[in-house]
């Protein structure tokens, strides 16, 4: 029978238990011992998912981020993590790099590690830092402790560790160091780890190398051969795991590596499974990622078995089955959902259900007993009914939406005037000062806001009571912004649970879940909506709230929308039509909301495309096609306004060097970007490219509780002004303020405004 294993499992718990424990610790509500006890309880639930698998994975659980765990595993924690002459715990150093301070008791905040997206997912990781002085040393106590806990339960343990080349690939050099120059030093630590695991009874180790699905140059490919030549004969068997795409030109390199098994993502590299099966030798394991670890649709068993049956004949006892990647990217349990449309519910599978699917597929390949045959055949028949019903369902198709797509005209993708004409007209009407100040959109989602929303959902308060409470919060947000002295205000988004989920709840063809939480970073979780059909807009979504906020102030209030590409990339997307077509449908819906806001008198409209870059294909040769339709989608929703209506957009954690021409083609009047954690290094891209429009480089890291000083903000903007003319610079935080509290936000924004005034005075 094919062996079953998992590459990783959601860490957060069914009820976001990890989030609550972490935030209680950071707020000094619980001690470290209590945190460890609560985490151990959560780990016990985590371990229950291993009982039907042939291997139990260790090392996939993390208190914040598995890449940061790897940095600490190999002694690559930045020097600022540790306080001098302080016998503080590992956790204090760890959280200081994760978020800038370990907890409220931490007297001395520091610069948090840079955060960016994990390949093309919506998960954020803490970027490893390298320099010519970087050294590595193994600190394996945490991993070994988990291995021993699992072994004590009689489980066959397979530790999961990021592979050495992917670890280097993910990091950044703080000087001119070539990251590959560090490989030999790093391999010493890796080999030490493998020997240590072997001494503790471990037989297999999974080394994750998703960098192999990108387009690597000859130096990197050569480094792969060198690395795995070095790591062979370390006392354990190595499963090399690739995922998120096809190996393509790297496949030949992989088949030459001296590893004991290779995992391939069969949901995104289906055509390579048979090729790899034939290329591996008889002693090597082929692990087929047959269950989609990135989406929530039920696996088509008929299609999966058509692929697996000939592979099972070829590889026999050397075939393993697994999800395509870690299930970190999926919600935990579909059984918790009570309000999903009954026709749609059978189409779905969350993490727990995906592991059940894995078990069924394994049995379907090698059933022997009559009982197993009967149960497997029943499961296969049930699966076929669900797959067929989805294909035939009228819920997926809206002829009005499809007709609207055919009516799109090319001129809808272009503003009627160029940027210079527009910005002059906008300045006449807006009368903004030099270095205008604003925020990205959201303000703190207080516990009272969340309680009120839950009371409304449970029907404990009326619609009118709920709206009155939201208006009270909007009024408070406007008052605070007026007092601080911001130039362009926002309504604070108290009505929104999430920037994508909120819009999904008001669009046809999308549904939201009650408990479908997925980790974004640290304790931050989101509930990605599910796009199950053609998308359209029936009614205004944001107009009333924006109008109310504007009625409270003479200063301009931005209309706040989420862009079509971000809605796509931060949702579970239907897999029965091209992503470009789904995005175009969403763009038409957002275009309708943009025009409604303008008609209601809103002079500044922000359309956030925070996830534009993260949707880039992992192979750079495929970028042009994606950027063509992604930028066109933004232009479709943003271009149907007058010249005096100012369009803003916001992007998170984006390396802009390689896509600046496409960002220019978006033609937003103002773009705001994250630059604070990189200390404005991201703006180096603008040295080589003459970006024409206004830009607001984020000067306040909202993912850290630290309050920026006036001098720090002034220095950052001064750096920015050396690359962008001051007349085109805005001053703003690097992202929304939803996750912060008012005690942090007020002084931070006060300092931001003070910095702007100081710069104007100069």
Residue 562's φ and ψ, nearest 5 degrees, are -100, 135
Contacts of 310 by beta carbon, 8 Å cutoff, 6+ apart = 274
d(CA 395, CA 729): 46
154 is in an annotated binding site: no
623 is in an annotated binding site: no
108 is in an annotated binding site: no
614 is in an annotated binding site: yes
Q: Are 118 and 124 in contact (CB under 8 A)?
A: yes
178 is in an annotated binding site: no
608 is in an annotated binding site: yes
Cα angle vertex 297, ends 514, 617, to 5°?
105
681 is in an annotated binding site: no
d(CA 684, CA 156): 49
493 is in an annotated binding site: yes
Tokens 């030549």 found at: 229
650 is in an annotated binding site: yes
Q: Are 565 and 634 in contact (CB under 8 A)?
A: yes
Contacts of 457 by beta carbon, 8 Å cutoff, 6+ apart = none
461 is in an annotated binding site: no
d(CA 106, CA 103): 5
d(CA 11, CA 18): 7
What distances in angstroms separate CA 78 from CA 61, 108, 128, one per listed residue? 22, 15, 9
Name the residue among 335, 362, 340 with its Cα closest to residue 350. 335
Point out the catalytic residue in the list 46, 263, 329, 703: 703
According to DSSP, residue 206 is labeled E
Positive or negative, the CA dihedral 337, 340, 342, 343 is negative
Element (H, E) at 289: strand 285-291
Contacts of 637 by beta carbon, 8 Å cutoff, 6+ apart = 563, 564, 587, 588, 590, 591, 594, 607
Active site residue 703: yes
735 is in an annotated binding site: yes
How many Å separate Cα 341 from the centre of its chain? 27
263 is in an annotated binding site: no
Q: What is the DSSP string of 360-388?
A: HHHHHHS--SHHHHHHHHHHHHHHHHHHH
442 is in an annotated binding site: yes
525 is in an annotated binding site: yes
Q: Are 693 and 667 in contact (CB under 8 A)?
A: yes
d(CA 340, CA 527): 14
Annotated binding site for L-methionine: 440-442, 493, 608
Which residues carry a binding-site annotation for 5-methyltetrahydropteroyltri-L-glutamate?
19, 117, 122, 524-525, 570, 614
* Annotated binding-site residue numbers: 19, 117, 122, 440-442, 493, 524-525, 570, 608, 614, 650, 652, 674, 735
Known binding-site residue numbers for Zn(2+): 650, 652, 674, 735
Active site positions, annotated: 703
Give the residue ranges of the annotated binding site for L-homocysteine.
440-442, 493, 608
């Amino acid at each position: 029978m094919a062996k079953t294993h998992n590459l990783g499992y959601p860490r957060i718990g069914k009820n976001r238990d990890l989030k609550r424990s972490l935030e209680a610790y950071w707020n000094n509500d619980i001690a470290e011992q209590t945190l460890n006890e609560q985490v151990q309880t959560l780990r016990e639930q985590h371990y229950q998912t291993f009982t039907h698998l042939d291997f139990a994975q260790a090392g996939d659980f993390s208190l914040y981020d598995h890449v940061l765990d790897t940095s600490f595993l190999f002694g690559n924690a930045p020097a600022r993590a540790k306080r001098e002459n302080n016998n503080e715990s590992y956790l204090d150093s760890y959280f200081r790099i994760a978020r800038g301070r370990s907890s409220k008791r931490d007297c001395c905040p520091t610069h948090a590690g840079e955060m960016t997206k994990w390949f093309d997912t919506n998960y954020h990781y803490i970027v490893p830092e390298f320099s010519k002085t970087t050294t590595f040393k193994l600190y394996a106590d945490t991993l070994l402790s988990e291995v021993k806990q699992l072994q004590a339960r009689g489980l066959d343990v397979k530790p999961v560790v990021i592979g050495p080349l992917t670890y280097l690939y993910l990091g950044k050099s703080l000087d001119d160091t070539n990251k590959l120059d560090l490989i030999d030093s790093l391999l010493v630590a890796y080999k030490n780890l493998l020997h240590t695991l072997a001494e503790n009874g471990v037989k297999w180790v999974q080394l994750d190398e998703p960098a192999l699905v990108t387009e690597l140059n000859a130096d990197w490919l050569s480094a792969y051969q060198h690395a795995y030549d070095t790591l062979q004969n370390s006392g354990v068997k190595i499963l090399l795991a690739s995922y998120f795409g096809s190996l393509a030109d790297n496949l030949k390199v992989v088949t030459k590596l001296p590893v004991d098994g290779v995992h391939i993502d069969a949901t995104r590299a289906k055509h390579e499974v048979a090729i790899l099966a034939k290329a591996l030798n008889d002693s090597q394991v082929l692990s087929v990622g047959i269950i989609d670890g990135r989406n929530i649709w039920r696996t088509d068993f008929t299609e999966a078995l058509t692929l697996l049956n000939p592979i099972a004949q070829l590889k026999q006892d050397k075939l393993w089955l697994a999800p395509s990647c870690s299930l970190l990217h999926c919600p935990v349990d579909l059984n918790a959902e009570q309000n999903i449309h009954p026709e749609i519910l059978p189409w779905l599978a969350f993490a727990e259900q995906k592991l059940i699917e894995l078990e069924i597929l394994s049995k379907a390949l090698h059933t022997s007993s009559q009982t197993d045959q009967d149960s497997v055949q029943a499961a296969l028949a049930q699966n076929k009914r669900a797959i067929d019903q989805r294909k035939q369902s009228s819920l997926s198709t809206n002829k009005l939406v499809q007709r609207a797509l055919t009516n799109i005209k090319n001129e809808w993708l272009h503003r009627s005037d160029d940027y210079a004409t527009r910005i002059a007209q906008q300045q006449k009407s807006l009368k903004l000062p030099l270095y205008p100040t604003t925020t990205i959109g959201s303000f703190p989602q207080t516990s009272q806001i969340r309680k009120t929303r839950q009371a409304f959902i449970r029907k404990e308060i009326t619609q009118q009571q709920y709206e009155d409470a939201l208006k009270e919060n909007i009024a408070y947000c406007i008052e605070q912004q007026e007092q601080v002295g911001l130039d362009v205000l926002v309504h604070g988004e108290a009505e929104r649970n999430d920037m994508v989920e909120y819009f999904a709840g008001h669009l046809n063809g999308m549904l939201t879940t009650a408990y479908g939480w997925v980790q974004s970073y640290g304790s931050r979780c989101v509930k990605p909506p599910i796009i199950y059909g053609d998308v359209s807009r029936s009614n205004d979504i944001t107009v009333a709230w924006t109008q109310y906020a504007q009625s409270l102030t003479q200063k301009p209030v931005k209309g706040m929308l989420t862009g079509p590409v971000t809605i796509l990339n931060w949702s579970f997307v239907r897999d029965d039509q091209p992503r470009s077509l789904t995005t175009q449908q969403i763009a038409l819906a957002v275009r309708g909301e943009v025009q409604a806001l303008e008609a209601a008198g809103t002079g500044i409209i922000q359309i956030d495309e925070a996830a534009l870059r993260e949707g880039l294909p992992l192979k750079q040769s495929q970028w042009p096609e994606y950027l063509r339709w992604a930028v066109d989608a933004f232009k479709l929703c943003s271009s149907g306004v007058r010249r005096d209506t100012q369009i803003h957009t916001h992007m998170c954690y984006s390396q802009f060097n390689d896509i600046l021409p496409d960002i220019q083609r978006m033609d937003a009047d103002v773009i705001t970007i994250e630059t604070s954690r990189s200390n404005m290094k991201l703006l180096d891209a603008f040295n080589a490219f003459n970006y024409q429009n206004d830009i607001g480089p984020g000067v306040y890291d909202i993912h850290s509780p630290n309050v920026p000083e006036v001098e720090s903000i002034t220095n950052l903007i001064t750096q920015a002004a050396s690359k962008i003319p001051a007349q085109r610079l805005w001053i703003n935080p690097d992202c929304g303020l939803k996750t912060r509290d008012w005690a942090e936000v007020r002084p931070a924004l006060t300092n931001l405004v003070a910095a702007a005034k100081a710069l104007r005075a100069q």
